[in-house]
Amino acid sequence: MRNLFPIIVCAVLTLSSCENKSDTPQQTVKSAAVEESKTPAPAETDNRLVVLNKITDGVWLHTSSQDVPGYGVVPSNGLAVKNGDEIILVNTAWGELATVELIDKIKAETGLEVKKLIVGHFHPDSLAGLDWLESKGVEVFAHPSTPGLSAQRGTPIPNTSVPELAKIGTRVKVGPVEVSYPGPAHTEDNLMAYVTGPKILYGGCMIRAANHKSLGNLTDANIEKWPDALKWAKQTYPETKMTIPSHGNPEAGITLIDHSLGLLEKHKNQAKK
């Protein structure tokens, strides 16, 4: 399994349940090493399988996919983070069976069990495997609005949440991961996860990949407050070395935050026409 950090990773397709047809899907996985000019061979990517790639010591990127009618095969990213003798999962895989496969891959790679789950938001690309993980005794950390939103939409409902995360700007430590609520954006309940040691920011669906030309699915979005959430993240995590969106390519630094702010400004201007 290749170590992808401090590599700038191009990890997955675009599009998802958080996506928009105007963003053209890609099926390329490229890595450009900072120290070397030549490009390593592409990682193995069968979009119907769960892929687990090591980013740095103790941190893995997991990618799973769904065949979405009208969109084709759509991937979704999450993280697995080592916390002593256990693993913290940021988002489930996209599907219950995919989550079972992901847990098996993590066990084979690390020899450790997943004991904690951080849920990014109430959409299925974040928590489709929630019920199965809870049945295995995994402790769940979610925004307090997530259970209610899940119940309304018919997605898996977390049995537990973190009341403190109701307040914008709250930051809660879960082992080496800082879970924060920057405010409403892609959804009212979207959380961020920051791995403090290697300074990796998982921005979820509120962060758009560099090749995305739109904001994606806006069904549950708060367009007015979304920029404030991104500005808060930019101010709070200025030393970020890698930003990972839910869908699309991770990038070095916080350039994806600026890109997402630009898309929001573009959307605002188009709405005025």
DSSP assignment string, 27-70? ---EEE-SS-SSPPPPPP--TTS-EEEEEETTEEEEEEEEEETT
Q: Is the pLDDT of residue 37 over 50?
A: no
For range 160-165, the mean pLDDT: 98
Q: Is the pLDDT of residue 161 over 90?
A: yes
pTM for this predicted structure: 0.85
Contact at 8 Å (CB) between 92 and 59? no
Tally helices (H) and strands (E) across the chain.
6, 14
Distances (CA, A) of 38 to 29, 33, 34, 183: 15, 7, 10, 41
More confident residue, 180 or 72: 180
More confident residue, 115 or 42: 115
Q: Which two tokens stand for residue 209?
A: 């990949």
For range 92-118, the mean pLDDT: 96
Picking from 4-13, 28-37, 259-268, which range would have the lowest pLDDT averaged per residue? 28-37
The pLDDT value recorded for residue 232 is 98
Q: Is the pLDDT of residue 158 over 50?
A: yes
Distances (CA, A) of 265 to 186, 221, 268, 270: 15, 15, 5, 9
Q: Is the pLDDT of residue 90 over 70?
A: yes
C-alpha span between 14 and 27 (Å, rounded): 8
Neighbours of 16 (CB within 10 A): 28
Show the domains of the chain with their CATH numbers.
8-272 (3.60.15.10)
Question: What is the overall mean pLDDT for the chain?
Answer: 85
